[in-house]
Every structure is written in structure tokens, then in C-alpha cells.
Structure 1
Amino acid sequence: MNKAPASVWRNPVHFLAFGLGSGASPWAPGTMGTVAAVPLYFLLVQLPLSLYLLVLLITFVVGCWLCEKTSADLGVHDHSGIVWDEFVGYWLTMLALPVSLGWALAGFVLFRFFDIIKPWPIRWVDQRVGGGFGIMLDDVLAAVYAGAILHLVWYFWG
């Protein structure tokens, strides 16, 4: 576990990369980052789908820069406290699904599962794609896995 640097609370770039400070948690920062993303999801989901997609695109692009800059500043590639990727990954997981606490919880569990287990090609990307793009991409892939399962469940049993 990497200890959160004091700059998280002083540097706005680090504060965002650390998921509004949620990644500074000494216990399971990735999970805490995803927890922090859930209430924001309930705000974002009020947007029309086209704007939700635009927010996803913008937060991904900005996230690549935030994660790259914070990693470089800290001298640690993908510091465990950098959780902006969890925010975007969770929001992508929940794309175009029914809005309810049950679906939000299912998305949380599946996204965290795939982000932690890292089945192929997620682990490959995590180990071989560097920089902020690599930090963001493995969570996007975890979101694709989780979202696909949720959409299949919704289609067949929803």
C-alpha cells in the first residue's frame, strides 16, 4: 500500500486524481474511490444519454492527463491512491442501465471484481500500457466487462 502524499489536500490535480480525496483512504483506496463515484453517478444519470456520453469522454481524456501528471509528480506509476480511473470506470459500467440502488450496487460489485481480478486483456493492458492512458484504460476494460454482463442480465431477466 502506498501512503497518500500530503499534496492530495493541497494540489487540485492530485485531489482530483485521488478521487476528491477518496483515494487517500488507508484501506482499499480503489474501492473507496468507486464508493465516492456512486453518488456522482446518481447526479450524472439525470443527464440525457448524449450528455452522459460526453461527460464520459471528457472525464476519460482529462483523467489520462490527471493520472499522468499525478504519477509523474509522485514518482510512482499508478499509485494506489489514484482513483479517478475508478470514477470513470464505474460511470462507464452504469451506462444506459436502469437507475436504481440495486443496479448501482450490482455495477459496483461487478466493476470492482473485474478491476481487482483483471482477466485478459485487462491485466495485459495494466502491465504493458504506460502513462495516464494505461492507468485509465484497464479500468475502462473492467467497465466494459462489468457493463456487458449487466446489460445481458437486463436484457434476459430485466
Structure 2
Amino acid sequence: MTTLEPGQTAYVTKPNARFMLSHPAHVLAQGFGSGLSPVVPGTSGTLFAWLAFNALSARWPQWFTPLHWAIVIAAGFVIGVWACHRTGRDLGIADHGSMVWDEIIAFWLVLLLLMPADFQTQLWAFVWFRFFDMVKPAPIRYFDRHLKGGFGVMWDDILAAFYTLLVFAVWRAI
């Protein structure tokens, strides 16, 4: 990475591990490296979220209770606003595809509210979440286009999580 004068911004169109490791905000925003996947980084970040949620919950159930997950998700959202803003600024693209912390937090929210759930239910949650995150139906598309900075990056994925949970609520009601 080039040494910059104070106030200058680095514009990296293809972030790599070196860029990610250059600042803690980048590590978080890029999902501990899952966002560096050369193919569908958002899907890679969501897969990371799914695996991490289940692994942490299974390994340390006394720590990763629903209440603790809710706290992690709320804090992760707030910290994610900062991390995604900083990383987007440093990349020169406000919502760069390598930033997947928004997918991670939003999918953890989906899993938290669906659990306990079998593998098939979790798989369908993954599919629906990715669908809503990629297609961005109204009002997700509106917020994606009009909310800028870290909050905008984080918020549209929370809406995709809401849509995913709505699908399950309707399905369970029928």
C-alpha cells in the first residue's frame, strides 16, 4: 500500500489481504477475509456468517445465548457502520462488494430469530436472504440508493433480513 499524506484517500479497486490487514475496520468490514472471495463475495460473507453462528453457538452455548447474540448483533451493527464507512472511504467506493460485514450481521439476525431450526430451514433462510440482498425489492433498493456511508451499507441488509423473516412468518402462518 502506498504511503499517503494526511487527508489523502487510497483508492483500491481490488482489495487484497494486505489492504484488509492494514486497518481493523477493513478486517471487520471485509468479514475476516470472506469478502475477498473473487466470486460472489456477498454469498461468501453470508456463508461465513452461517458457519460462524452455528460453530460459536455449538462450541460455547453458555456464551452464545440468544440474549448474547442479540447484544453481539446490535453492537456489530453500530461498529459495522463505522467499519464500513471507513473501509468504503479507503477503497473509494462507498459500498464495495468486498465489504460483507453487513451480510454477516443481517444473517446473524435472521438465524437468531429462526433458531432453533433444522438444516433445511437454515438453508432456505440462506437462499431467501441472498435473494432479497441481491434483487433488492422496494424499499430495499430505495435505501440502497439514497442512504450513504456506513449506515446505508448496513441498513439495506437489515431490510433483506426483515424480508427473509417475513417469508418465514407467512409460510408458518399458512
- Equivalent of 1:130 in 148, 165, 168: 148
Deviation at 1:96, TM superposition (A): 2.5
Partner of 1:16: 28
2: CA distance, partners of 1:104 / 1:31? 14
Q: Which residue of 1 aligns with 2:123?
A: 105
- Higher Rg of the two aligned structures: 2
TM normalised by structure 2 equals 0.82
> Is residue 81 from structure 1 mapped to residue 98 from structure 2 by the alignment?
yes
How many residues matched? 155
Which amino acid is the alignment partner of residue 132 of structure 2? F
**Contact persistence 1:92–1:147 (CA under 8 A):** no
Kept in 1: contact 2:84–2:99 (CA 8 A): yes
Q: Is the contact made by 2:25 and 2:82 (CA closer than 8 Å) also made in structure 1?
A: no
Q: Can you list the C-alpha shifts for 1:2-46, whole angstroms capped at 9, x where unaligned?
A: 522431133322111100101111111111111111111112484
Cα deviation, residue 59, structure 1: 0.7
How much is the aligned-residue C-alpha RMSD, in angstroms? Answer: 1.6
How many angstroms apart in 2 are the aligned matches of 1:154 and 1:139?
Answer: 23
Q: Contact 1:17–1:66 (CA<8 Å) still a contact in 2?
A: yes
Q: Give the conservation status (yes or no) of the 8 Å contact 2:81–2:151.
A: yes
User: Cα–Cα, structure 1 residues 111 and 151, in superposed 2: closer, same or farther, change >3 Å?
Assistant: same
Unaligned runs of 5+ in 2: 1-12
Aligned to 2:15: 4
Equivalent residue, structure 1, for 2:38 = 26
Q: 2 CA distance for matches of 1:112 and 1:81? A: 15
TM-score (norm 1): 0.90
In structure 1, the residue matched to 2:132 is 114
- 2:150 is aligned with what amino acid? G
Residue 35 (structure 1) aligned with residue 52 (structure 2): no
Q: 1:127 to 1:34 in 2, by over 3 A?
A: same
Q: SS of the counterpart of 1:94? A: helix
How much identity, in percent, do the aligned residues show? 41
Secondary structure of residue in 2 paired with 1:79: coil
Q: CA deviation at 1:81?
A: 0.2
- 1:80-128 CA distance string (max 9 Å, x none): 1000000011111223213322122111101000000000000000000
